[in-house]
Structure 1
Amino acid sequence: MPYALFCNDAQISKAYPAEADVWKLAHRSGLVVDVANDDERPGPRRVLDNDYEIKPCRAAQGEDPAKNKADAEQQSRMEPEFNS
């Protein structure tokens, strides 16, 4: 089942084949933040910024999640990445 990025239950990204693909998209978009660790986990952990979620979804009619992934990877290779 494909996954997408949601905000307040509204799908805001294309569908991608795996949850990890959406995490990469969210990270490149600046939506992933580090939060302080809790007592059970060492070091900081990464979470999505407020109101964003990654959830399973249905691909729109005619949408190909694998093509969306390939397009996103190609675009990321063409854009400079800035350290935050």
Structure 2
Amino acid sequence: MPYALFYQDAKLSKAYPTEADVWNLARKSGLVVDAVSDEERRSPRPILDNDYEIRPCQLDPNEDPDQNKADADREARTEPRLN
């Protein structure tokens, strides 16, 4: 089942093979924040900013989640890192 980033009902990203792939995309885009959800969890857990959601999605015509992931991985390797 492919996953994508959504805001309300609008699909904002390409489809990716796993939910973890979309979390990585969101993290690199600055959409992930750490927050403590309750007293049972002492350590912060990642959540998406501004009511974004990661959820299963339908593929667009001719969309290939594996190719989208490969393209994103290739881009990540060629982008300069700012430290």
Q: What is the TM-score when the length of structure 1 is the normalising length? A: 0.91
Name structure 2 gaps, 5 residues minimum.
none
Q: Which moved more, 1:70-79 or 1:29-38?
A: 29-38
Deviation at 1:37, TM superposition (A): 5.0
Kept after mapping to 1: 8 A contact 2:5/2:12 = yes
Cα distance in structure 2, aligned partners of 1:37 and 1:9 = 24
Provide the aligned length of Structure 1 versus Structure 2.
83
CA RMSD of aligned residues (A): 1.3
Kindly tell me: are residues 27 and 82 of structure 1, through their superposed partners in 2, closer, same or farther at Cα, counting changes over 3 Å? farther
Identity of aligned residues (%): 63
- Name the counterpart of 2:77: 77
Cα distance in structure 2, aligned partners of 1:67 and 1:23 = 17
Which letter maps to 1:60? D
- Name the counterpart of 1:50: 50
Cα distance in structure 1, aligned partners of 2:37 and 2:16 = 29
Name structure 1 gaps, 5 residues minimum.
none
Cα distance in structure 2, aligned partners of 1:72 and 1:44 = 27
